[in-house]
Chains A and B, each alone.
Chain A
């Protein structure tokens, strides 16, 4: 504002006036800095918000909605089948006719009648969804297999039109079994087809197995040939009620009238009874037995509502692969009468007339549950588990859309022990990807968090003493001329790319350190000991000799001693190893010195070549310059008057450093350590290269680790966008964010306290 002619300022001499340029610059800079600060805050919050948007869908619930009703007129169905596009489901009637329906209503239903022999009826049926096979058990003691072929024809508009054909096989076996087939199950993959049947022979029931295999090489598959697993009259102690094939057609589970499950295993030469399971020891009749996707876990419900999952795993006691109770689900009232499993993950639907429940195997959780107004039977999850089909008793096919993109994600799966398929106890595991869809993702973040903390801890254990002592020495004891030279040199260390450090650690340091751990221990002990011993000797020397070395140049004496002591310790290592780390081989009884074996038997842990020691060493190398240079600055800025006063009062150089300089500089040193810590927590490339990225859960110095940041670097490129793994990796990033946020806040609070305390000194 231009001052008026009468204003007091106009009477001021011109030279006292601040130039308009300066004022304008001042105002501009003030706003500029404010905008910059707010911009940074905004960016931090934007990143935070972005991460949050990515991870929130993980904790969403399943959404199931009815999308279509199809009047089929089929009142007495055996089963419902569906194609992978959910575009052309079919219903098998009691006469074996397969009728295909187009849910959009564009095409009339298409029926394929079963070539049943004269006078025979269907007594049991099973549908193998992966291989699109329907198998009927016949009253004549035979079975009839229908191969359903779906084909997509692309129309001009690019939309696929799904067509279906049915190939009927001849009823088999040619020599029929002795009675009607009352229960049937089918297993098929690209190597084999196995069919198990319960046959009512007069008043008794027996088990029949028909097995076929095909020779597969890389380029061709042969036709199905009968296989030695075929077996007639397998003995079951009680009358069998249902039969289930699993685990690659090599496990047969038979439910019997005495409420037990009899497990048979193909040993390579014979079907051998392996196990009898009493699924509900507290009582309760078996309502349903079904394999979930992967065919190694059995979902069992009882009529009083219990719901369990039994999985096949190697029992550590017997060394055999047997079923064991791994999960207990929330109750399902009345037990299931209908069951549908997903082909893509471990979810499945239980049905009991009007009661439907979508459940997920890994977390033993209920994803969605409802009570309908009409009962639905013959449930079927579509190929991509995006659809659920069910048929009412009066012949209306209901089509539901199932939207449950992240069933694997929950607080339980991320942060608590889960009893995964094939494992003998609940564990924290990270293994996100498998070779096929039957793989159960293991997404525990606990090993990764522990790995991050472990790497940071060992890096700091190595870096803090070296960096701090170096900073104290250069700032307080070293000659001024040299300090000008030393500091930039150490700062250059910080500019070494971490990928180079990691590469060095992996291919140079790790193999060398593997055999020489005792040498490393000796060196760690010998260097301080040598330095102290030299100091003692030096102090006893007459002043005449001591004055030969100018103040600040004493290290010239220490250097050769340290080199000699280190070399000596390095070569003494093997001797030290053979004397101190004795190991007795339990097999031969021989005793010899070997650090690696001694460590494993002494600590119970592992000794890996790529271990936390190597990482700590290399990551320490990356952190040292940061801690060094910041704490050196803090120590150097302590006012000279303070240390001069202390020295003038007769304190020695060390007393001055320890009692006056260090406390005054402590807030700065503390923040230096915290910044170093932040660097170590987020460090990625060294860890990726130098560790084996083993997601193990321990704090041993001689085992590896996988950190949150390394995990993101390794797995993000392969993670499909918006998939569960992708979002889980963002959850890891979020945890890293929160971790550093907590550390920084804590550090800032502590630092301001320290500064408050030592304020008087300044």
Chain B
């Protein structure tokens, strides 16, 4: 009976993904085959963008291994390194790469660097209110809206008519929403769109990925950035262009080819001692999320899956 319910649960988890995600999933991704004797507790502390995804993975993984307990806490990518260092967590999901100062601290504690695995592809989407008719934005315009340092060389953009919009946007101030500074999305956007410049002080910092989207949906003059997985009907996603080239939609294709300028990998950091054998629970969890089932969940959550070759590379590097 438990085995049967396990299978039903798994099927319930994976079927919709199989239906929707078939076109996105790489057919060469390996099938996950359960092994015996896996039990224990995994703690995950880190990214808010990855929170849903980690929860879905954990549910599916626990359905395979009922003796495994996974606890997930997602307040922001910056919370992952301190938790890994203090041993409060084994998994550190992050939506940006660790900064060298964070790696330094980890290394000072353990003597080796944290192990990084890419787990999914994400594109940062630029959201506006659903009625907003703006065709798209260039990276320079984005920088001119969000930054106070204008490193891409644009002139400050404060009002919607500077982007050519008429009533009811016209002379109104662009109302800017973003993530709070603990978030990897914040750091990533700062690095890529603002070229490490500073945000304007008037960027309204929201505590979560979905609250950015909610806030933009409730503000006709709003604009904000958040992961593509949080798209709702109240907002519209703007295509973005790099330089003067054409506008690019945040699709998987454009993300893989590098045409969409603000795409990123989502990461999982682990404490992997290079001289010891890798912990079987950690190994199986990583193997699961890099498998076809794991990547189908990625699609289900609205992110993009990894190509099979990349997933294999990460798996090899982890188990070596």
A interface with B by C-beta (< 8 Å): 152, 154-156, 158-160, 215-219, 248, 294, 313-314, 319, 321, 343-344, 384, 420, 422-423, 429-439, 442, 447, 506-507, 510-511, 514, 583, 585, 587, 596-597, 600, 606-610, 688-689, 691-697, 703-704, 714-715, 717-721
Contact yes or no, A384 B199, CB < 8 A:
no
B256 interfacial by beta-carbon distance below 8 Å: yes
The answer to whether B186 and A433 touch across the interface, beta carbons within 8 angstroms, is yes
- CB of A218 within 8 A of CB of B121, answer yes
Asked if B17 CB lies within 8 Å of chain A CBs, one says no
B55 contacts A by Cβ under 8 Å: no
A433: which B residues are within 8 A, CB to CB?
78, 181-182, 186-187
Asked if B202 contacts A152 (CB within 8 A), the reply is no
Q: A423–B263 contact, CB under 8 A? A: no
CB distance from B245 to the nearest CB of A (A): 13
Q: Determine the residue in chain A with the shortest Cβ distance to B77.
A: A718
Instruction: Give min CB distance, A444 to chain B, whole Å.
Output: 11
Given contacts A218-B255, A434-B190, contact A314 B150 (CB under 8 A): yes
Q: Of B100, B180, B190, B219, which is within 8 A of A693 by CB?
A: B180
Q: List B residues 203-243 near A (Cβ within 8 Å).
A: 203-207, 214-215, 218-219, 221-222
Contact indicator B155/A319 (Cβ below 8 Å): yes
Given A432-B181, A610-B204, A694-B202, A507 contacting B190 (CB threshold 8 A): no
CA distance A607 to B202 in the complex (A): 11
- Least CB distance from A571 to B in Å reads 20
Question: Beyond A219-B310, A694-B205, is A159–B111 a contact (Cβ under 8 Å)?
Answer: yes
Cα A583 to Cα B159 with chains together (Å): 15
Q: Which B residues touch A610, using CB under 8 A?
A: 204
Is A429 touching B101 in the complex (CB atoms < 8 A)?
A: no
Which residues of B, 177-208, contact A by the 8 Å Cβ criterion?
A: 177, 180-182, 186-192, 195-199, 201-207
- Whether B102 sits at the interface, judged by CB under 8 Å, is yes
Are A321 and B150 in contact, with the CB atoms below 8 A? Answer: yes
Which residues from chain A contact B51 at a C-beta distance below 8 Å? none
- Taking the nearest CB of chain B, how far is it from the CB of A324, in angstroms? 14
Since A248-B195, A694-B201, A719-B78 are in contact, a sample of 14 more A-B pairs with Cβ atoms closer than 8 Å, ordered by chain A residue number, is A218-B264, A219-B310, A294-B196, A314-B149, A314-B150, A431-B199, A433-B181, A435-B192, A436-B187, A438-B196, A714-B207, A715-B182, A717-B76, A720-B102
| Smallest CB gap from B76: residue in A | A718
B149 touches A313 (CB 8 A): yes
Q: Is the CB of A609 within 8 A of B190?
A: no
CB of B215 within 8 A of CB of A607, answer no
CA gap between A216 and B261 in the complex, in Å: 11
- Is the CB of B280 closer than 8 A to any CB of chain A? no
Instruction: Report which of A442, A507, A596, A693 forms a contact with B172, defined as CB distance below 8 A.
Output: A596
Interface size on B, as a range, is 35 or more
B28 lies within 8 A of chain A by Cβ:
no
Report A-chain residues with C-beta under 8 Å of the C-beta of B188: 435
The reply to whether B198 and A718 form a contact with Cβ atoms under 8 Å apart is no
- Residues from chain B with a CB closer than 8 A to the CB of A506 are 215
Q: Evaluate contact between A154 and B112: CB separation under 8 angstroms.
A: yes
Judging by beta carbons under 8 Å apart, are A217 and B181 in contact?
A: no
Instruction: Name the distance in Å between A385's Cβ and chain B's nearest Cβ.
Output: 10
Least distance between A141 CB and chain B CB atoms (Å): 35
| Cβ contact within 8 Å between A218 and B256 | yes
Q: State A343–B275 Cα separation when bound (angstroms).
A: 29
Chain A: which residue is nearest B197 at the CB level?
A422
Contact residues in B for A437 (Cβ distance below 8 Å): 99-101
* Residues of A contacting B121 in the complex (Cβ-Cβ under 8 angstroms): 218
CA distance A436 to B257 in the complex (A): 24
Whether the Cβ atoms of B198 and A152 lie closer than 8 Å is no
Shortest CB–CB separation between residue B223 and chain A, in angstroms? 12
**Contact present for B79 and A587 (CB under 8 Å):** no
Which residues in chain B, 15-66, are within 8 Å of chain A measured between CB atoms?
Answer: none
B175 interface residue (CB < 8 Å to A): yes
Contact between chains at A717 and B199 (CB < 8 Å) = no
CB-nearest residue of chain B relative to A156? B275
Complex Cα spacing A608 to B219, Å: 10
Which residue of A is nearest B170, CB measured? A585
* B191/A158 in contact, CB under 8 A: no
Q: Give, as a whole number of angstroms, the nearest-CB distance from B14 to chain A.
A: 26
Query: Which residue of A has the minimal Cβ distance to B259?
Result: A217
> Shortest CB–CB separation between residue B230 and chain A, in angstroms?
16
Q: Is B246 an interface residue (CB 8 A)?
A: no
Question: A429–B175 contact, CB under 8 A?
Answer: no
Q: A720–B204 contact, CB under 8 A?
A: no
Most A CB within 10 A of own CB, among B104, B113, B195: B104
Contact residues in A for B113 (Cβ distance below 8 Å) = 152
> Which one of B82, B180, B255, B256 lies within 8 Å of A720 (CB-CB)?
B82
Interfacial chain A residues near B203, Cβ < 8 Å: 692, 694
A-B contact pairs, 26 of them (CB 8 A): A154-B111, A216-B258, A217-B257, A217-B258, A218-B255, A219-B307, A248-B195, A321-B153, A384-B104, A422-B149, A433-B181, A435-B187, A435-B188, A436-B196, A506-B215, A583-B171, A587-B161, A587-B171, A606-B202, A692-B206, A693-B180, A694-B202, A695-B201, A704-B204, A717-B75, A717-B79
- Please name all residues of chain A whose beta carbon is closer than 8 Å to the beta carbon of B204 when the two chains form the complex: 608, 610, 691-694, 704
Alpha-carbon distance A115/B83, docked complex (angstroms): 48
B176 CB to nearest A CB, Å: 8
Does any Cβ of A come within 8 Å of B81's Cβ? yes
Cβ 8 A contact of A160, one of B111, B181, B255, B263: B111
From B105, B205, B222, B258, contact of A218 by CB (8 A): B258
A420: which B residues are within 8 A, CB to CB? Answer: 198
CB-based contact B181/A154 at 8 Å: no
Which of B100, B151, B206 has a CB less than 8 Å from the CB of A344?
B100
Chain A residue nearest to B193 (CB atoms) is A435
Given A152-B112, A159-B111, A344-B101; A718-B196 close (CB under 8 Å) = no
